[in-house]
Each structure stands twice: as C-alpha cells, then as structure tokens.
Amino acid sequence: MLQIKRPSIVDVAELAKVSKQTVSRVINESPNVSEKTRQRVLQAIEALGFRRSELARNFSQGRTHSLGVVGRDLNYFGTRTYIGIARQAEALGYSLLLKELPESGIEQIEPMLNALLDRHVDGILWAVPEIADNHAWLDSGLLARIPVPMVFLSMAPRQEATVVAYDNFAGGELATRYLLDCGRKHIGHIAGPQEWWDASERQRGWETTLQQAGMKVLPEHVAMGNWDAASGEAAFHRLLASYPALDAVFVANDKMALGVLLAAHEKGLRIPEDLAVIGFDDITESAYFHPPLTTIFQDKAALGQQAVKTLAHRIEQKFQPAVQHVLESTPLTHQLIVRKTTPAGVIKT
Amino acid sequence: MLQIKRPSIVDVAELAKVSKQTVSRVINESPNVSEKTRQRVLQAIEALGFRRSELARNFSQGRTHSLGVVGRDLNYFGTRTYIGIARQAEALGYSLLLKELPESGIEQIEPMLNALLDRHVDGILWAVPEIADNHAWLDSGLLARIPVPMVFLSMAPRQEATVVAYDNFAGGELATRYLLDCGRKHIGHIAGPQEWWDASERQRGWETTLQQAGMKVLPEHVAMGNWDAASGEAAFHRLLASYPALDAVFVANDKMALGVLLAAHEKGLRIPEDLAVIGFDDITESAYFHPPLTTIFQDKAALGQQAVKTLAHRIEQKFQPAVQHVLESTPLTHQLIVRKTTPAGVIKT
DNA sequence: CTGTTAGCGCTTTCAA
DNA sequence: TTGAAAGCGCTAACAG
C-alpha cells in the first residue's frame, strides 16, 4: 500500500518549466505573471492534481487562518451557538480548532491556551461559561501575555477583555416586567446556579424590576436550581413552601421550567390561572411543553456569529493594521415569546 | 506594541551551549542525553519560556496529530456525541479540526475533504447523518483516493468503509417487543424522515417484530415526522385518523414523542391506559415530560468515543505498522428505560 | 552521548 | 515578468 506523495510546488514547477516561485505567484493570483506562463502552470497543476499544502503555508507564514475554540461540555452554550461559530468561521475563511476544558479547573487553563498557541492559532474564542471565579485568571496578568486576539463569550465585562454576550440583566427585566403586566403580585424566581454569571444577572434583573415596581423582594422568593429539569422540579417545591402566595414564577431557563410545569401539575395548580410561568432560552421543545411555555428567546447562533466576527476583526486588524476593517454587528437582544403558561390578553409593547 | 518572537529551539541551544539537535532530544525525551546536559538544556528552556512549536513539528513530520471532524448542524448527533469525541481525542492526544457541511450537498463534499487534507489531518471522522443518497459519493471511488484513515458515524454498513454505529434495527425491535409484552395489539409507529438511514432502520425493527409476532403491518400504521416535536404532533393526528384502533405507539425519537404526548392529551386520551407511548434517545428532558416518557436509551457519548478510538487505532496502525495496537471497544447497545407512558407491572428481561 | 547536514513545502526578500 | 536564495522551527539520518 504505497503512499503516493502529494505533488509539491516543485513538481509543478518542473513540469511547467518555470521556477517554483512562479508557481507560487500563480496560486496566489499575483498579477505579475504573463498570461502564457500562467496557463502553462495551471495546466501542470491540473495534470498533477496539485493542491497547496496549507500546513506548509501556515508554517512559512507563521499564521494558520484558524481559530482556537475552548468550550466546556459543548452543551452549555448549546449547539446553536456552535453552529453560529462554525458557519461564520467558514464564511470568513477560518478553520476551527476545538478544545474541551475539563471541569477540573484552573490548572488546566494555561496548558489549554498553550496547546492552542503552540499550534499557532490566529485567535482564541473562550466559550466557557463564567462560573464562580473560574475566570479569575483573567486578572492575573495571563491575558496580557497571550499574543493573539481573544474574545470571551458571555462573561461579566472586564477591563482589557473583549466580551460578546447577551444582556441577561435586561432579559430578566423583560420577563419580570411581563409578569407584572399580567397583573401578578407574587412573582417568585427559580434561579440558575448562583455562581453562574448569567444566572445571577437574570436574577438581578428580576429583583430590580420588582423593587422598581415597589415590591419587596425577600430571600424566600427565590429557589435555586442547576439548570436541569429535575432541579427545577425540586426548586419549585421549595419555592412554593417558602412563598405560598406565589402566583407567578420566572424560571431562569426552559429546562427547569419543564420541571416546574410537571411539579405544578402534580400540585394541582392550574396554569396559567393559578400560576403563570415564564422560561428563558426558547429551546425548540418549549412550544410543546404542557402547556406550551412562554419564554424569553435568545438567538444563540447570532451570539456565536457575532463572537467570531469580532474575533476575526481583531485578527485582521493585527495582521493588516493599514487597512480599515469594518466590524459587522448582529444585534443581540432578547425577545418575549408569549405562549400558554401566561394569561392571554395582555398587551405588550 | 512589539510582538515578541517566541523562542525557538535554536535560542535554547545557544543559551545551553549545545546543538539544537540535543535540545530536540531533550524535549522528545530521548534517553541518549547525559543527565548533565539535559539539566542544562532544561534550565535554558525554563529561562526562555520555550515551548515547542507544534506547527513546525507537524510540518516537519508530515503529520499533525489532529483529526478532521465533518458534521452537519452539530445537533443531529447532538452535543453528547461531540463531548465523547472531544474527550476521547484529547485523551489520545489528538486535536480536532471542525468543519460544518452545509445542507446544500454533494458538491461541497470534495472541497471539504480537501480542506482537511490540505491541513494534513491524520484522519477524518465523518459525522454527517446518512440522508437519502448523500453518502453515495462513497461508491464513486472517491473514498479510495483519500490518503488518510476515515471513520463514519452511524451510517449503513458498506464495503471498504469503517462505520461506528448503534444498531437502530435492534433498537426498534426492543421498543416494539416491549409494547407487545405490555399486551398491546395495535402498535403504530411514528417514524423519522424516511430518507434517514437511522429512521428507516428503526422502522424496520418495528415492522419485523410485529410480523414475527404474527401481526399484520399496513402502511396506515405508520406516520412520518421530521424529528421535531411539531412534526410528532401532526404525525400523531394523521396516525390516529388512519389507525383508529391504535393502543400503543413507538415514536422514533423523544422530541416527536413530546409532540405526541401533547396531541394525545388534547384528544383526551389517557396515557398509558388508552395509549402507551415509547420514545427513542432518552434525552435528558424526557424524564420530565408529562407523563415521564418510556424510551430507548442510547449512549451518544460512547458512540463518539468509540468512533475516535477506532479512527485513532487505524491511524496508529498506519504510522507504526510494526507495533500491535489494541483497539479498546465500548459496547454500543440500547437500553430500555421504563417510565410512565407505558403500563406498570410488565416484567421485562 | 553529541553534532552536522539535509530537508519538509511554502513565502519572502532581493536580483536580474 | 521571472528566478535564485534564504528562512520559517523542527525532525531524521548519518557521523563522530
């Protein structure tokens, strides 16, 4: 099973009777080649089935036209986010080098970044959710020593770091205000894990909105889950116990809301008459929950796209500081999707 | 903003007063280095903060220790599959180069493969679901011309192609047999898109099992969906119309089953008394459906792991034909998960 | 045990 | 418009 060597630029040069330099010019579409030789070279390329080795090119140029993507469990940001990332990267001519950051934590971070840098990625996209202080390394000065542009997905804004994120605070406000508009007076919250930035922002949005409406917010008006349906169910039981007057609940994601719906049903609560429920995310299933879930939509694909655009923009700036690059931007705003878990007839602008 | 050049092997050599070859030996842990010089070199490495450039190494070795992964929409195989792939690749020392195959189709395939080969991936993992004839290119001889090992995820077995897949036929049998064991006499099927290999296999499992039980299987006993909850709902309405005696339904995936549950509820059917329902996949939400869904579990992470193991095994074989490599294998068998959408009290071995 | 010499396949000077 | 030469950072093959 003889391995046939890929033809190189030299093979093409020999066949076309030119220098390899000329071949290089042809494949790079340099204008400084006569039409005649260009044709000869193109023929040789065709005849040999030549393709330029990106590996060699990357090596010689010192850049790889690839982006390192560090994720955690792929599934937090969800497949939609990754699709956005992948499509946008492809569109912009970047390859993706994917890494999974293990739970273990902080001591894995530097090795991971190094692995990417050793492969000379042009930029790095950090798609690890911010949990507790797992982004604390940013303040250690490590960031400044990373020689390539870096973009962070959905983390708390901080100095010197480029962040692409939804405004979860605003999302929390949107959900809560809607429940207020429905006329509910006792709006509880089932939060994601406190240590998650996204979760605490959503909670802050809920709290602030209620306070601005002149309502009191007590600790027993919140229960915490871990994003899973099971935890939503458990949290709902606790919440109902600690806040019996409850007539509406803002759940920090749709999966937990699924658990809430089940639990409420078991308790014999009518939805939305006795209890209004609003979720967060608008996962595809939520339209088929029982009853269909009112929720806050966020376009995860757009989030991924925007992150890649931003990163690519910074890379181009670095490699060609001369030219003015424009950064296209996708708007990232939450949308309210009203379905059956909230009362009908409410006008919302 | 001066870009500091990464120290190279040569810088280390100079500082340690040895040849770069010796440095190379040290970083590759060759035994043929005296302890004394090794220490000197290590110190120099430390002092300079040297790290070997994987890019250069890849180039010089002609292999990249990376796997090309071609997926479609990331979400068909699901995040679990990708987590399995990512973790196993990491464990085996491979990087992942990710590509998304656009829907458009066949004319994208060769460019995609070429893009991967131009970057000299060591192997390719094809994670695109087999739909209609979108794998027909395999029979065109293209495969034979791909110079690196390739592994296909979840497609129909064929000559000359390495496939890692669940036996969907067996899964269909398992589900159907269970409904029979429950004593149901009118078992319908809501299938995935006919053109999907996985879908048609599951259907075949259903059909065969019923026939072996001496039952007649008619076209009106099946309705087709597109994997989405919405399509499951619609398909159920059609199925009920064409097969009024229906007392059980095997749904080809959990999402569609979700739609079925909603539709059945609206029809006033009691589950499982009037209608037993079994899904397929065991997505995390299904335990929280209303009622909790009986389903067939498949470990997608294990699927991804097994695919990477298989691919890595073939790669090692190629690069070091001398040594005997053992291929660890993860068992890929479906499991029945009994919850509330099927009658209780059935003993199942 | 260590050093020397090539060479991987391309791009980037610099000359002609 | 073309070519020659050097170099990217490493490994491989051969000497000593």
- The two beta strands, B295-297 and B335-337, are antiparallel
Same domain, A226 and A193: yes
Q: Which of B345, B313, B340 is nearest to B123 (CA)?
A: B313
Let me know whether B192 and B248 are in one domain: yes
Whether A1 shows a pLDDT value over 50: the answer reads no
Report the chain A residue with the minimal C-alpha distance to residue B321. Answer: A1
CA A100 to CA B209: how far, in whole Å?
Answer: 41
Task: Report chain A residues whose CB lies below 8 A from the CB of B55.
Answer: 58-59, 64, 118-120
Spanning CA of A18 to C1' of C15, the rounded length in angstroms is 17
CATH of the domain at A97: 3.40.50.2300
What is the rounded (10 degree) CA torsion for B260, B261, B265, B267? 20
Regarding whether B28 and B84 lie in a shared domain, the answer is no
Contact call for residues B122 and B315 (beta carbons, < 8 A): yes
Query: Which pLDDT value is given to residue A2?
Result: 46
HEC string of B165-212 equals CCCHHHHHHHHHHHHHHCCCCCEEEEECCCCEHHHHHHHHHHHHHHHH
Residue B333 is assigned to a structural domain of this protein: no
Distance B32 CA to C2 C1' (A): 9
Selected residues 159-198 of chain B with any CB under 8 Å from a CB in chain A: none
CB A155 within 8 A of CB A125: no
Asked whether residue A13 is domain-assigned, the answer is yes
Q: Are residues B178 and B133 in the same domain?
A: no
Tell me whether residues B255 and A285 touch, CB distance under 8 A: yes
Nucleotide lying nearest to B62, CA to C1' measure: C8
Same domain for A158 and A250, yes or no, is: no
**Whether B37 and B13 share a structural domain:** yes
Q: For the segment A323-334, what is each residue's pLDDT rounded down to a tens digit?
A: 778 888 888 999
B201 and B311 both lie in a single domain:
no
B307 and B285 housed in the same domain: no
Residue A342 lies in a domain: no
CA distance A301 to A60: 34
CB proximity A300 to B under 8 Å: no
pLDDT digits (tens, 9 = 90+) for A180-204: 999 999 999 999 999 999 999 999 9
Cα diameter, chain A: 87
Contact between chains at B87 and A99 (C-beta distance less than 8 A)? no
* Per-window interface: B 121-150 vs A, CB < 8 A: 147
Residue B61 lies in a domain: no
The reply to whether A172 and A162 lie within a common domain is no
Assigned domain for A331 exists: no
How does strand B248-251 pair with strand B66-71? unpaired
Is strand C in 7 Å reach of the CB of A120?
A: no
% residues pLDDT > 90 (chain A) = 78
Instruction: Tell whether B40 is covered by a domain.
Output: yes
pLDDT at A40: 93
Query: Which range of residues forms the domain containing residue B152?
Result: 66-166+302-319
Determine contact: A91 vs chain B, CB below 8 A: no
Contact B245, B220 (CB under 8 A): no
Q: How confident is the model at residue A73 (pLDDT cuts 50, 70, 90)?
A: confident
Asked whether residue B161 is domain-assigned, the answer is yes
Contacts of B293 in chain A (CB under 8 A): none
Asked if residue A242 belongs to a domain, the reply is yes
Question: Which chain C positions have some atom within 7 A of a protein CB?
Answer: 1-5, 7-13
For B55, which of A87, A120, A287 is closest by C-beta distance?
A120
A132/A148 Cα distance (integer angstroms)? 26
Q: How far is the CA of A113 from the C1' of C12 (A)?
A: 29
Ranges assigned E (strand) in chain A: 66-71, 95-100, 123-127, 150-153, 162-164, 187-191, 222-224, 248-251, 276-278, 295-297, 335-337
pLDDT at A207 over 80: yes
Nucleotides of D under 7 A from a protein CB: 1-5, 7-13
**Residue A50 sits at the chain B interface (C-beta within 8 Å):** no
Q: Are residues B157 and B174 in the same domain?
A: no
CATH number at residue B47: 1.10.260.40
- pLDDT for residue A23: 94
pLDDT by position in tens, chain B (length 349)? 345 788 999 999 999 999 999 999 999 998 888 999 999 999 999 999 999 999 999 999 989 999 999 998 766 667 889 889 999 999 999 999 999 888 776 788 999 999 999 999 999 999 999 998 889 899 888 899 899 999 999 999 998 899 999 999 999 999 999 999 999 999 999 999 999 999 999 999 999 999 999 999 999 999 999 999 999 999 999 999 999 999 999 999 999 999 999 999 999 999 999 999 999 999 988 999 989 999 999 999 999 999 999 999 999 988 877 777 889 888 899 999 999 999 987 665 5
Inter-chain CB pairs, A–B, below 8 Å: 146
Say yes or no: A267 contacts chain B, CB-CB below 8 A. Answer: no
B176 and B283 part of one domain? yes
B178 and B33 in one domain?
no
From the CA of A308 to the C1' of C13: give the distance in Å.
34
pLDDT tens digits, one per residue of B303-317: 999 999 999 999 998
Give me the number of domains chain B comprises.
3
